[in-house]
Amino acid sequence: MCGIVGYVGNKQAAPILLEGLSKLEYRGYDSAGVAVRDGEKAAVVVKTTGRLKNLSEKIDNGKALAGTCGIGHTRWATHGVPSRENAHPHVSGNCTGSGSGEVESLVVGVHNGIIENYQELKAKMERHGYVFYSQTDTEVLIKLVDYYYKKYQGGPIDALAKTIVRVRGSYALAVMFKDHPGKIFAARKDSPMIIGKNDSEVFLASDVPAILNHTRDVYYIGNLEMAELSPKEVSFYNLDGDKVQKEVTTIEWDAEAAEKGGFEHFMMKEIHEQPKVTMDTLKKYIKDDGKKKHIDFSDFGLTKEDIEGFSQIYIAACGSAWHVGMQAQYVMEELTDIPVRVELASEFRYRKNKLNKNALVIVISQSGETADSLAALRLAKENGIKTLSIVNVVGSSIARETDYCMYTVAGPEISVATTKAYSCQLICAFLLAVEMGKVKGLIDDKKYAYYIEELLSIPSKIEACLENKERIQWFASKYSNARDIFFIGRGIDYAICLEGSLKMKEISYIHSEAYAAGELKHGTISLIEDGTLVVGSLTQADLYEKTLSNMMECKSRGAYLMGITTFGKYDVEDSVNFAVYIPKVDEHFVGNLAIIPLQLLGYYISVSRGLDVDKPRNLAKSVTVE
């Protein structure tokens, strides 16, 4: 939720900080700020509200700030409204105005995460004479570092360690100490932060794209660890203050993958990447030994024996990843005969679960940092239950803490509204379902080979769905002023609708609901008025007639119907006003195709309403707070 960056090297820091923040703006975009030090001089802090461009303009794209060491922040408000006072960096000393300008404070810092006991700590700090200028938990954190630094005089790492022990919550924290020019100190727990290095510079960021133009060599700083950054060196410490050795990881993908590549928005670029990334994900797990193809999970160590031991599956996730879980539930249960329960991670973590000890808990997350999903994972582990994650961001917390991590190969996803990561997550869920079904003896060799070929056909069929985009664009322009949109379907179609509806509301701000088609008449149908758009997903042969009847019930009450079904089902045009056809594929896997027109519909409606598609209001890409 918030993005942080840091730079220490031999170049002017501010332009590099701004460039890094521009790659992280998807994480938060209601205010931004930087603090830069020029040699021994005190830090200069500049903060603005609104998008990053306001900050860039204010400091002449960074050229106005001298100095080769600095930190920066782009905010998604949690504590306190978006304002200059609440924007980061925060300082430990007294500040005037909104905290901008040259500051003589001992500690200046930026933070991503939430400090849960900040009120109690704030009261303590006030008793010690500290004055607060913002409503943020971050200011409390920075003042606490200052307090321990002065009280124990053990140096920056000692002060950070004492702070970490005292606070509850999550943080990626980067601070500069007045007495230590040319250095940045960092600490982390449960919020993402990576540190990159080349021969003469060290970088710090919430996510890899922020530093990729400068280095591919990154370190992952662990939970409750600290780091000391200087131009040619980075050292890591544990809570005892002992040095920790770390391996460098080389990032495989390049900076271009995180650019728009000629598309107007990241979302559209990412929609168009789906044929490639779904194929990359399939190829990672489908091996061809020359005679036949088979699914191979040796990459993350899931064995036949492991699978045989599972008698229950729980899936925990948030948002679109939960929608993947909803779809996986239908497919896995049917192909494996293992009972599957899907839960929102935010519910799972607080319910008094009676978890089956022979279960597998699957956590699905693009970022691998979602606070509720991470907590669900930890709860499962505390209960001694095996965990498997489906994650996109390599080295993220969920990926590292899970027993088996099945990576999606979606590449960096920048648009807040997920598309390509969602599609790759579905692919992983389907691969798991097929392999588990095979191991459980429910899928014979012939069926297994058939399922694998059907899965491998998905990327080119997504391509075919994309060819239809002009029709969807035309349709979207008619409905850009809609007040409510309903998405209805049964079974897998219902799960598809959940995602279609979320895509619509999050980027178009049009109220929309996904409903199990059979449930409409139990109340919601009273909302249907003349002209209300009802989108039906009609991809399951045995449920086709049923859902169509429910759509007709809406039409009789004035609704305008859009239906999504497979090529060949042309009779649908007798009932619906606008039909969209997708290629045929095994019905279990149809979600990968039916979602494409729904992604496009949300996208085009958002564009025709003139909205910020990639950075919708009030949202952030990575939800690292509860």
What are the two backbone dihedrals, phi and then psi, of residue 5, each rounded to the nearest 5 degrees? -140, 160
Question: Closest residue (Cβ) to ligand M6R?
Answer: 319
Tally Cβ neighbours within 10 Å of residue 260. Answer: 16
What are the two backbone dihedrals, phi and then psi, of residue 199, each rounded to the nearest 5 degrees? -65, -35
Structure tokens at 509: 């701000």
Tally Cβ neighbours within 10 Å of residue 305. Answer: 8
User: What angle is formed at CA 468 by the lines to CA 576 and CA 532, rounded to 5 degrees?
Assistant: 35
d(CA 348, CA 367) in angstroms, rounded, equals 19
Among 318, 443, 516, 594, binds ligand M6R (CB under 6 A): 318
Segment interacting with ligand M6R, rule: CB under 6 A, options 291-299, 416-424, 441-449, 584-592: 416-424
For the bound state, the minimum distance from the C-beta of residue 400 to ligand M6R, rounded and expressed in Å, comes to 15
Q: How far is CA 58 from CA 99, 182, 362, in A?
A: 15, 24, 46
User: Any contact of residue 361 with ligand M6R (CB under 6 A)?
Assistant: no
Among 48, 365, 408, 508, binds ligand M6R (CB under 6 A): 365
Options 122, 189, 569, 621, the catalytic residue = 621
Considering only residues 190 to 219 of the shown chain, the ones binding ligand M6R according to CB under 6 A are none
For the bound state, the minimum distance from the C-beta of residue 315 to ligand M6R, rounded and expressed in Å, comes to 13
User: SS in 3 state form for 192-203?
Assistant: CCEEEECCCCEE
Considering only residues 560 to 579 of the shown chain, the ones binding ligand M6R according to CB under 6 A are none
Q: Residue 536: beta bridge partners?
A: 488, 563
Options 2, 69, 405, 424, the catalytic residue = 2
For the bound state, the minimum distance from the C-beta of residue 583 to ligand M6R, rounded and expressed in Å, comes to 24
Whether residue 232 lies in the annotated active site: no
Q: Which is nearer to ligand M6R, 98 or 396 (CB)?
A: 396
Structure tokens at 210: 């922020």
For the bound state, the minimum distance from the C-beta of residue 418 to ligand M6R, rounded and expressed in Å, comes to 4
For the bound state, the minimum distance from the C-beta of residue 615 to ligand M6R, rounded and expressed in Å, comes to 11
Q: Which is nearer to ligand M6R, 108 or 417 (CB)?
A: 417
* Closest C-alpha to 321, from 434, 406, 422: 422
d(CA 502, CA 496) in angstroms, rounded, equals 10
Segment interacting with ligand M6R, rule: CB under 6 A, options 262-270, 367-375, 512-520, 536-544: 367-375
HSE-CB of 284 using CA atoms within 13 angstroms: 19
For the bound state, the minimum distance from the C-beta of residue 607 to ligand M6R, rounded and expressed in Å, comes to 16
For the bound state, the minimum distance from the C-beta of residue 341 to ligand M6R, rounded and expressed in Å, comes to 19
Segment interacting with ligand M6R, rule: CB under 6 A, options 233-241, 288-296, 319-327, 433-441: 319-327
Tally Cβ neighbours within 10 Å of residue 247. Answer: 6
Among 6, 33, 169, 319, binds ligand M6R (CB under 6 A): 319
Using N-to-C axis directions, what is the helix angle for 591-608 and 420-439, rounded to 10°? Answer: 170
**Taking CB under 6 A as the rule, which mask of x and - marks residues 500-529 in contact with ligand M6R?**
--x---x-----------------------
Among 105, 274, 353, 366, binds ligand M6R (CB under 6 A): 366
Please, are residues 162 and 148 in contact by the beta-carbon 8 Å criterion?
Answer: yes
d(CA 400, CA 44) in angstroms, rounded, equals 37
Please, are residues 610 and 17 in contact by the beta-carbon 8 Å criterion?
Answer: no
**Taking CB under 6 A as the rule, which mask of x and - marks residues 321-360 in contact with ligand M6R?**
x---------------------------------------
Please, are residues 67 and 44 in contact by the beta-carbon 8 Å criterion?
Answer: yes
Segment interacting with ligand M6R, rule: CB under 6 A, options 242-250, 313-321, 443-451, 588-596: 313-321
Q: How far is CA 271 from CA 207, 256, 319, 509, 620, in A?
A: 21, 16, 18, 20, 19
Q: Which residues contact 549 (CB under 8 A, 6 or more apart)?
A: none
Whether residue 2 lies in the annotated active site: yes
User: Any contact of residue 417 with ligand M6R (CB under 6 A)?
Assistant: yes
d(CA 534, CA 530) in angstroms, rounded, equals 11
For the bound state, the minimum distance from the C-beta of residue 415 to ligand M6R, rounded and expressed in Å, comes to 8
Segment interacting with ligand M6R, rule: CB under 6 A, options 218-226, 260-268, 363-371, 509-517: 363-371
Segment interacting with ligand M6R, rule: CB under 6 A, options 268-276, 361-369, 456-464, 480-488: 361-369
d(CA 238, CA 221) in angstroms, rounded, equals 10
Number of residues that bind ligand M6R (CB under 6 A): 16
Q: Which is nearer to ligand M6R, 435 or 506 (CB)?
A: 506
Among 12, 100, 134, 418, binds ligand M6R (CB under 6 A): 418
For the bound state, the minimum distance from the C-beta of residue 410 to ligand M6R, rounded and expressed in Å, comes to 11
First to last CA, the chain: 11
DSSP 48: E
User: Any contact of residue 105 with ligand M6R (CB under 6 A)?
Assistant: no
User: Any contact of residue 277 with ligand M6R (CB under 6 A)?
Assistant: no
How would you class 66 by CB atoms within 10 Å of its CB: exposed for 0-12, middle for 13-18, buried for 19 or more? middle
What are the two backbone dihedrals, phi and then psi, of residue 355, each rounded to the nearest 5 degrees? -80, 135
User: Any contact of residue 370 with ligand M6R (CB under 6 A)?
Assistant: yes
Segment interacting with ligand M6R, rule: CB under 6 A, options 76-84, 315-323, 351-359, 580-588: 315-323
3-state SS class at 150: helix
Q: Which is nearer to ligand M6R, 234 or 429 (CB)?
A: 429
Q: Which is nearer to ligand M6R, 298 or 618 (CB)?
A: 618
User: Any contact of residue 373 with ligand M6R (CB under 6 A)?
Assistant: yes
d(CA 348, CA 158) in angstroms, rounded, equals 37
Is the peptide bond prior to 89 cis by the omega test (within 30 degrees of 0)? Answer: yes
What are the two backbone dihedrals, phi and then psi, of residue 279, each rounded to the nearest 5 degrees? -65, -40
Segment interacting with ligand M6R, rule: CB under 6 A, options 180-188, 316-324, 476-484, 567-575: 316-324
User: Any contact of residue 92 with ligand M6R (CB under 6 A)?
Assistant: no
Interface residues toward ligand M6R, by CB under 6 A:
318-321, 365-367, 370, 373, 416-418, 502, 506, 622-623
Q: Looking at the annotation, which residues are catalytic? A: 2, 621
